[in-house]
Homo-oligomer: A and B are copies of this chain.
Amino acid sequence: MKDPIQHLNKIFDSRIRIGIMSALAVNEKLNFNDLKGIMDVTDGNLATHLKTLEEHEYIKVQKGFVGRKTNTTYSITKAGHKAFTDHLNALEEIIKKMK
């Protein structure tokens, strides 16, 4: 693949993952339900995508407690932010080329 297209990141091929990343790019921390609300996916589906992103260290998970309830929040890592920005930049190039 030529130039910008080869800079696209396979991980961000998925709409849901793009959604997660852009939500986390703008919001410092979000929990499972925030993300579920933003993207309108089923739990299992969201959990799988979150795990994939976590495995690639694009997001990190903080498991904690609010009182006695578990409280899990997700946030973007530095590497994740860079990877996502690179991806979007490549897309921007593609868009520019088309005009």
Interface residues of A (CB under 8 A from B): 1-2, 5-6, 8, 10, 13-16, 18-19, 22, 25-26, 38-41, 85, 88, 91-92, 94-95, 97-98
In the bound complex, residues from chain B placing their C-beta under 8 Å from that of A22 are 5, 94, 97-98
Copies in the complex: 2
Partner of A18, one of B5, B15, B16, B85: B5
Q: How far is the CA of A22 from the CA of B6 in the complex (A)?
A: 13
B98 touches A38 (CB 8 A): no
User: What 8 new A-B contacts, CB under 8 Å, besides A5-B15, A13-B13, A88-B95?
Assistant: A1-B40, A5-B18, A8-B15, A13-B14, A22-B94, A22-B98, A91-B91, A91-B95
